[in-house]
């Protein structure tokens, strides 16, 4: 549905943008990019079974000149920082209109690095906080604020159900944040995450 929607959004601008391929599978997408070598790739942060950040790294290792642009609903500045860290050329939110997307793609292909205007102010504020040392524990490891909260409660020994109740979210949401924590800390489970947090001195 998302792919069809993007195709429909870009169709009126076929004289400016040509869609040369699409994929809903990360492994197939990486191979497709290597074969087609497009000017730009639109990619989401979260993909089925993998991370868009990891896929971005793989794409750029195969086709260094490609411009990877994240198009996502996740307006979290930590995702933005991570995207830029792995070499993304743009980070845009899915509320964008077709004409704006085409304009941004053109500018990105000309060498600009673009951030969705809705995130720009928050990015400036985050940068100021980072500079002054005012940020949440684990931010330097790429953890989002909510991931940091989940990790802190894991370190405190709370179960997923207790964490969900504490943060007023579902257990599935807690599990999603936990998977993000594990991936960013390079561990496979809660015990590894707790050990890494203590080893890195995340919570002092």
Q: Return d(Cα 14, Cα 68) in angstroms, integer.
A: 20
Cα 165-142-89 angle, rounded to 5 deg: 125
Specify the CATH number for the domain of residue 173: 1.10.10.10
Residue 133 has pLDDT above 60, yes or no: no
CB 29 within 8 A of CB 23: yes
Whether residue 192 is found in the same domain as residue 152: yes
Please tell me the predicted confidence (pLDDT) of residue 160: 93
Q: Are residues 108 and 55 in the same domain?
A: yes
158 and 62 share one domain: no
- Does 148 map to a domain? yes
68 and 160 both lie in a single domain: no
Q: Is the pLDDT of residue 138 over 70?
A: yes
pTM: 0.64
Q: Is residue 129 part of a domain?
A: no
Supply the range of the domain harboring residue 167: 136-200
Residue 2, C-beta contacts closer than 8 angstroms, at least 6 positions apart: none
Which tokens belong to 66?
Answer: 């490609």
Q: How many CB atoms lie within 10 A of CB 137?
A: 19
Domain count, the chain: 2
Structural domain includes residue 128 = no
130 located within any domain: no
How confident is the model over 77-130, as pLDDT tens digits? 778 878 888 899 999 998 889 999 999 999 999 988 888 887 876 666 665 555
* pLDDT (0 to 100) of residue 84: 84
Distance CA 108, CA 66 (A): 10
Q: List pLDDT tens digits, range 6-36.
A: 999 999 999 999 999 999 888 899 999 999 9
């Amino acid at each position: 549905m998302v792919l069809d929607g993007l195709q429909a959004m870009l169709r009126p601008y076929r004289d400016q943008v040509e869609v040369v391929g699409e994929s809903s599978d990360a492994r197939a997408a990486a191979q497709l990019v290597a074969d087609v070598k497009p000017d730009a790739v639109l990619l989401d942060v979260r993909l089925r079974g993998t991370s868009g950040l990891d896929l971005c790294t793989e794409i750029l290792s195969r086709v260094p000149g490609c411009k990877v642009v994240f198009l996502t609903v996740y307006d979290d500045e930590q995702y933005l920082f991570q995207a830029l860290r792995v070499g993304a050329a743009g980070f845009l939110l899915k509320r964008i209109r077709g004409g704006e997307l085409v304009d941004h793609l053109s500018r990105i292909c000309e060498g600009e690095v673009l951030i969705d205007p809705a995130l720009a102010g928050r990015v400036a504020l985050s940068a100021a906080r980072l500079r002054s040392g005012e940020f949440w524990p684990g931010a330097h490891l790429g953890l989002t604020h909510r991931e940091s909260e989940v990790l802190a409660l894991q370190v405190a020994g709370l179960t997923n159900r207790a964490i969900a109740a504490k943060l007023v979210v579902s257990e599935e949401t807690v599990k999603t944040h936990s998977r993000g924590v594990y991936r960013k800390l390079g561990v496979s489970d809660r015990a590894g995450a707790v050990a890494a947090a203590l080893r890195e001195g995340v919570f002092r």
